[in-house]
Amino acid sequence: PQGRPPAMVREMRINTAPRGNRVPLLNNGETSRILSDLEEGSNVQAANVGFCRVIKLAKHDAGKLVFATMALLVASLSNLLVPKYGGKIIDIVSRDVQRPEDKAQALADVNGTILYIVLIVVTGSVCTALRAWLFNSASERVVARLRQDLFSHLVNQEIAFFDVTRTGELLSRLSEDTQIIKNAATTNLSEALRNLTTTAIGLGFMFSTSWKLTLLALVIVPVISVAVRKFGRFLRELSHQTQAAAAVASSIAEESFGAIRTVRAFAQEPHEISRYGGKVNETLKLGLKQAKVVGLFSGG
């Protein structure tokens, strides 16, 4: 009925609209779910989306990503070679040099090693810049395609879908959630490859120095792997809850702005401010909890 405050109008729409199974936001052949976090923003378990499916979003930029990966490998190798050559300089200056010709040879060795370090640093810097440019440009293209596909899918939903789904939440999905997926498909992939490369090259240096000590150091790896896996699952669920709460907060703001005349007519400004503030505080608490968990894990 005309004249109801926005919250009451929304509640009436949700209670009277047909509920049925809702079509998922992105078609993937999976069974649709009933009233997930898009309506409630509650503690709904996050969908388990495979990493390969996320990578498919960047398949159109495969060429750039290949070159970026090559640049990443060279940059990672350069970062590990600098300490190695720095150690050579220490070995050279630590020699017991007595004869003048030995001093001249030592000085030449130091100069040659310094030249190698300069070349390695310059090469690593160029490859790092190239890697950042290629991955970032690819990520922007990924998020543009994702937003277009998502918007096209949403526009073709049944009318009942829009009766039970708030506009602000859909806008949040188009902006914030697509940004997260973009990072997963490009930036996070870059970081994962860099860490794996650094680990592999570092292990090679460690085995070449002392394989027994390296094996002893690797004993704790299985325990750390189990802890990281559990932490990743918990952090994913927490991040899902945070995004859902932020989406609901966006929908409340959109409703209030869209029905501002009704809000003013019924003097509902304090009520709308309280609704929005409550959801923002919920988002803040989840964000602080997420920051605390990440801090504790990083410190541990």
Question: How far from 60 is each of 56, 186, 247, 254, CA to CA, in Å?
Answer: 8, 12, 29, 35
Contact 43, 241 (CB under 8 A): yes
Give 237-253 pLDDT, tens digit per residue.
888 888 888 888 888 88
Q: What is the pTM (predicted TM-score) of this model? A: 0.58
Q: CA–CA separation, 36 vs 21, rounded Å?
A: 10
At the top level of CATH, the class of 6-299 is mainly alpha
Encoded tokens for 112? 């040659």
Q: CA–CA separation, 83 vs 220, rounded Å?
A: 25
CB count within 10 Å of CB 76 equals 24
Q: CA–CA separation, 21 vs 12, rounded Å?
A: 19
Can you tell me whether residue 99 is helix, strand or coil? coil
Contact 128, 194 (CB under 8 A): no
HSE-CB of 193 using CA atoms within 13 angstroms: 21
Q: Give me the residue spans of the domains in the chain.
A: 6-299
- CA torsion 31-36-37-42 (nearest 10°) is -130
Q: Looking at residue 248, what is its pLDDT?
A: 85
Give 249-298 pLDDT, tens digit per residue.
888 888 888 888 888 888 889 999 999 999 899 989 988 988 888 888 77
- Which residues of the chain, if any, have pLDDT below 70? 1-55, 183-187, 299-300
Would you say how long the chain is, in residues?
300
